[in-house]
Chain A
């Protein structure tokens, strides 16, 4: 590890974009792990296609975050520096997306949770006061819809399927549900974004998300667990034990061969 880490700007607009960009980036990385491992070829292609969309969305967001950081006085960081050269505490993705990929039921439920969240988020960001962000969102919302449809399709199929598929889907709900609270936990970063019209507080999306997910789970014969006080803190930079391993995978080449391209 020979390349020094970069320190992204602490400007709230930058942090706001990094939270979203890192959430797309890390879920894209997790979905990419399915390449060659999905239960059937069509799903292998689907999961990696979605990974590609998410990484594309992340690239645009990280690029914009770097530009806003430079405008706020930090050195200009490009998408690659932001993706590969930060330390763990400077990644601001929700903890939900860094959890190991689990089985296929776990994967499609997490995809449904995140795609529904992102669809609501992109819809709101399409009218952001930042025209560049609005442009990114106008494109991404179309992709999120398609991802949501695919994931929800599987949640219903497995939840309302065989005893075994139902058991696995119920176990996925049980494991993943508690991680959704973090998606709706707003703080000063959200307040600043809302105040300048950059985007909604993450908490503003809670009602629509819960309604959509509640309907989906009902269709699938599943039940959302009762709300708990469990609250993860990935988007404040405090991650689960799984994060370091992902970053080691992601960062090794850029750290060992700085600026390497092929």
Chain B
């Protein structure tokens, strides 16, 4: 069903436009919409604007900040009051990051996630750092990179370094 078709006042389209401009608090190069966490924008039965978000990681400390930022931006645009809800299923995947979002991540110096590999539901146990290191450097494009750490400054990233230009960089992990 197209919610836009029912959007006589244009508020829903305006709300989407606003959310396209709200930056992610931890990766401000991309917006909430680029990140793929805005599931729906709709008009509730009581007329209140409803925003449905999907959390990225269970423990992501930015979740509450994201809700506050989204609400504040919508209210500032004259679209309040706003009701926010979280929808966990289906679980967020990096496959929902937009093409535009991937380009912005790369320009910001973060290697974007590749597609979530089929069979990624089976943990690969053994040390396979070299096999896993086919991540292109976001600065020089070289594929000669290596992983430094499975975890980075936020839950969603890992640390890499480029063996060609010698620069360290972050990689947005595909999940």
Quote the shortest CB–CB distance from B84 to chain A (angstroms). 16
Q: Is the CB of A53 within 8 A of B125?
A: no
- Provide the main secondary structure of the chain A interface: helix
Interface string of B58-91 (1 = CB under 8 A from A): 1111000000000000000000000000011111
Flag if B151 contacts A42 (CB, 8 Å).
yes
Q: Are A139 and B125 neighbours in the complex by a CB distance under 8 Å?
A: no
| Given A149-B123, A153-B127, A139 contacting B149 (CB threshold 8 A) | no
CB interface residues, A 113-148, toward B, < 8 Å: 119, 131-132, 134-136, 138-143, 145-146, 148
List the A side residues contacting B92 at CB < 8 Å: 139
Residue in A139, A146, A157 whose CB lies within 8 Å of B127: A157
Chain A residues near B155 (CB, 8 Å)? 49, 52-53
Contact-size category for B:
20 to 34
Give the segment of A55-63, A76-84, A173-181 that binds chain B. Answer: A55-63
B58 and A219: CB pair below 8 A?
Answer: no
**A55 near B59 (CB under 8 angstroms)?**
yes
Chain A: CB-nearest residue to B88? A135
* B126 contacts A219, C-beta separation under 8 Å: yes
> Do B149 and A46 have beta carbons less than 8 Å apart?
yes
**Chain A CB within 8 A of B150 CB:** yes
Interface residues of A in 242-258 (CB under 8 A from B): none
Q: How far is the CB of B52 from chain A (nearest CB, A)?
A: 13
In the complex, the answer to whether B151 meets A46 with C-beta atoms within 8 Å is yes
Quick check: B58 and A57 within 8 Å, CB to CB?
yes
Is B46 positioned at the interface, with any CB of A under 8 Å from its CB? no
Q: Does B159 contact A (CB under 8 A)?
A: yes
Majority-rule SS of B interface residues? loop
Count of A interface residues, CB-CB < 8 Å: 38
* Total A-B Cβ pairs within 8 A: 91
A152 at the interface (CB under 8 A from B): yes
Contact A152 B125 (CB under 8 A): yes
Would B59 and A57 count as touching, CB distance under 8 A? yes
Contact A42 B159 (CB under 8 A): yes
Residue pair A143, B124 in contact (C-beta under 8 Å)? no
Nearest CB to that of A153 among chain B residues?
B127
Decide: B88 and A139 in contact? CB cutoff 8 A: yes
User: Does chain A have a CB within 8 A of B18?
Assistant: no
Q: Which residues of B contact A152 (CB under 8 A)?
A: 123, 125
- In the complex, what distance in Å separates the CA atom of A151 from the CA atom of B173? 17
In the assembled complex, the Cα of A42 lies from the Cα of B60 at a distance in Å of: 19
Q: Point out the residues of chain B lying under 8 angstroms from A45, CB to CB.
A: 149, 151-153
CA distance A104 to B130 in the complex (A): 24
Closest A-chain residue to B173, C-beta based?
A146
Q: How far is the CA of A89 from the CA of B129 in the complex (A)?
A: 44
Give bound CA distance, A42 to B157, whole Å.
12
Q: Answer whether A138 and B58 are a contact pair too, CB < 8 Å, given A45-B152, A156-B125.
A: no
Distance (whole angstroms) from the CB of A247 to the closest CB of chain B: 21
A-B contact pairs, 23 of them (CB 8 A): A42-B148, A45-B153, A50-B151, A52-B59, A53-B58, A57-B59, A59-B58, A60-B58, A119-B123, A132-B88, A135-B89, A135-B91, A138-B88, A143-B175, A146-B150, A146-B175, A149-B123, A149-B124, A152-B123, A153-B125, A153-B127, A156-B127, A215-B125
7 cross-chain pairs, A with B, having the tightest CB-CB distances, nearest first: A56-B59, A135-B88, A56-B58, A135-B89, A42-B149, A52-B59, A46-B151
